Amino acid sequence: MATAQLDGIKVLGGGPFGGRDLELMITRDAIQDRVREMAAEISGRYAARGPIIIGILNGSFIFMADLVRALQIPFEVDFIKLSSYGSETSSSGTVRLLKDISADITGRDVIVVEDIIDTGLTINFLRRRLEEAGPTSVSFVTLLLKDDVAKLDFTIDHVGFKIPNRYVVGYGLDIDQQMRGLDAIYALKEQE
């Protein structure tokens, strides 16, 4: 796994994380290759089913955009906005619903798209909530999974990369709402 110093794109704006360096964890090319593979798997599985693909805002927006553009099947999109973190680098332990889906998912095939599953709190909350609406099926796609940390009582259908328990940014993931536009995944360098 490569490591890079990123002079000039250290955490922006100072604040509690200002001046921290980043380590390259997953390159842009590796992400793009894996997204295409995942899209092919999903296209095969959902051919002729017309799924509704629900992205969890904010973090999933870049992964979702790349994933759906690589699909070879008809689909609809919708979004839900949930928040499980405050402004710190660990889970607050609660999930807040900030924007609900608009679509009626009763009797539909649903695909949930997440950028990262960390503790599993967000995805467990969303699974319970969606199943109350009586969809035909719900499957889960995540770009990143912290499999040493996540507590899940169901299977994640499509996982892009399993990652260690590091705070990661880029490709939609933020720190204090910054760094989402980086085109690769970086870990905050641990302080010595």
Nearest CA to 63 out of 36, 87, 92 is that of 36
CB of 26 to ligand PRP, least distance (A): 16
51 touches ligand PRP by CB under 6 A: no
Which DSSP string corresponds to 91-139?
--S--EEEE---S--TTSEEEEEEEEESSSHHHHHHHHHHHTT--SEEE
Rule CB under 6 A: which of 60-89 touch ligand PRP? Answer: 83-85
* Cβ nearer to ligand PRP, comparing 66 with 122: 122
118 is catalytic: yes
CB of 70 to ligand PRP, least distance (A): 20
Pattern of binders to ligand PRP over 118-157, x per CB under 6 A?
xxxxx-----------------------------------
Tell me the HSE value of 156 on the side-chain side, using a 13 A CA sphere. 26
How far apart are the C-alpha atoms of 84 and 86, rounded to whole Å? 7
Q: Which residues are catalytic?
A: 118
Write out the residues near ligand PRP by the rule CB under 6 A: 56, 58-59, 83-85, 91, 114-122, 174
